[in-house]
A and B are shown apart, each in its own frame.
Chain A
């Protein structure tokens, strides 16, 4: 995956919550408050901000799979790192190991529609969510085998997310098919925390939405929503970063 930050304006122009996150949440019934692809707003060294969509980095040397005591999280032959929520024991060692904060835990009964909860477990879609287990972005393995791009890439209104194959050196954002190496070289791409040696499979082309007309001094974005919340009754509600909630 290559994310062209020059095209990402945090969906300020469409005046909506980031559409990559929204598409992901809608397709996977991602339990609140998880954002498997999260659009962070980071300060630029020269002033102003940039938006940084962050999915699981799908590392080639993943620290999370190294520490898993039961092999519940693992690298697939195709590349993406998956989690078997039917094997996970909930020790959260992988969450401590991940340097990108890209792992999420079902602290209580997952807030998901009853239909989803009743469905048969699918490791490639991570449905239904299971209490006491870890979840994260899976690069939409089920779509890849159907020849489609991940939901976040399909959901991006600006075509900022390219998806392709490093070995075949091809990628597309839905509008154009490009040579991946050319794309990455023209903008001197980088990867997050490259010095850690995790070798992420997600590349970034530096920018702050300038190709889609964003002023870096315009900060803020719409908050993420979990649209089926009204379908739920009596499921747990928690925050990612502070204690409390309801159960």
Chain B
């Protein structure tokens, strides 16, 4: 009895005391104090945000419905890439899409807002410099998310507070801000970041120069939108009238000025154009592979040795070079059109009398080619992973006449279809095939570019292959899906110089702009830029048959082209076309061309002919694609997001 009484007493004591201990913070979960209260916690918190930044890199593809920036089946990124969807590359099936994927990162913005809101509580834990820098970094992250929104939708709701999910429905339904206010909000956040962040940071994290680089890009976008939206005839649309899509042209100079200022700030910073190699072509190619490049302002790291399924690898190498010589799986999914090679100025391949130039070797087409183009694409005779590229489209038994007689490669052109000695004058074939002409066995095609079917889809639709970002250091056996680890350069000095030059030209500072262009062209090994020419034109350099809805100075078009020459394949082209408001003209029945090499049998020489792409594919971007529609699901939740963007 006595024992039992003791037992009960002990039990009673235990039940009373146990509740106190359960009030302790759980040790397995990091709470706000752990995350915001010290530098390492903040780093951990920011890591997740960096992971979700809207960076259009190797794995991004805009028609992936779930999340284009962190897609599931991301090996497909290189075939559905933004470049393929916007005509910068071509392959067999991908066309322009503009439905968007419903990008709406307010969950991440909320996380940033939570930090900005609550971090001041822990101010005493940090030195002033560290505290300011971290707060600046948060502003940079928020601006980056908003820039992903603004370039798609124009004006979006600006949420600076941490919303309470249980609050009144009316306060949670935030209407759109104007496009000007949205870009201006990005400006304010980035200005704060530039003023408060430290000058250096560990790799993959932002500092004040990274913030300035983003400022340079975003304000250039905003300035162009302000200047050119007036010309596209959408003034009757409610979203335009209310300022949600488009900006008052009077604001253009203000925004261009921000871009110039930010650009100059970066140019004066600790970066320099990559110039480690004497061979300018190799130098340009290495710029994208050398992780220690002094040109890198901000990069996104990948690591081929990291555990699989971590999204820390990509498949760029396996999907940009032909199988089996350079890749062990899939093979090329993106071919560069001739239209873009032409931007660099090609070696003459047509004589003044209209006849094709005769070359002794296929690779003679590279003679006199701008080194930057050689650093951007692989041509016949170039070596990768111990093998040599060979690209030949076919044989002409004889070629008498002009280049135009081939009618862009048409099968019905007489020079192609005439039968001589039992064979058509133009002979095509599958990979590495041969034929006998006048008793001599000749190769019709080579191992890579431009052969007829027989796995051509992943090997031979174009007449050049991508070199930019191709990692030369790995053996072919290691070039496979999810095995590429080269970093993506988010911002580099070259882009900032081009942003600055364009902003300066738009501001009328033509000489300063061309001084910046000269820096780019010298590094590229290109000829000096032509003298400033203020003649007004209204056609561009790609798909010239369609004219712009406005005129611009010839030299401004040169700066735009310089941008594409330097930044080809770096996912700028689509956004540039959109902000210049010409995407529906440049991509109107845009039919990518290819420069095909033929052997002329009776002369023993090679000629190059300008042909349409093999499937006669065209690209047309819709009129509405100047903006993406506000996601329907978000409108269903919040009707104050209306009016929707023009033409939706």
A and B assemble together: no
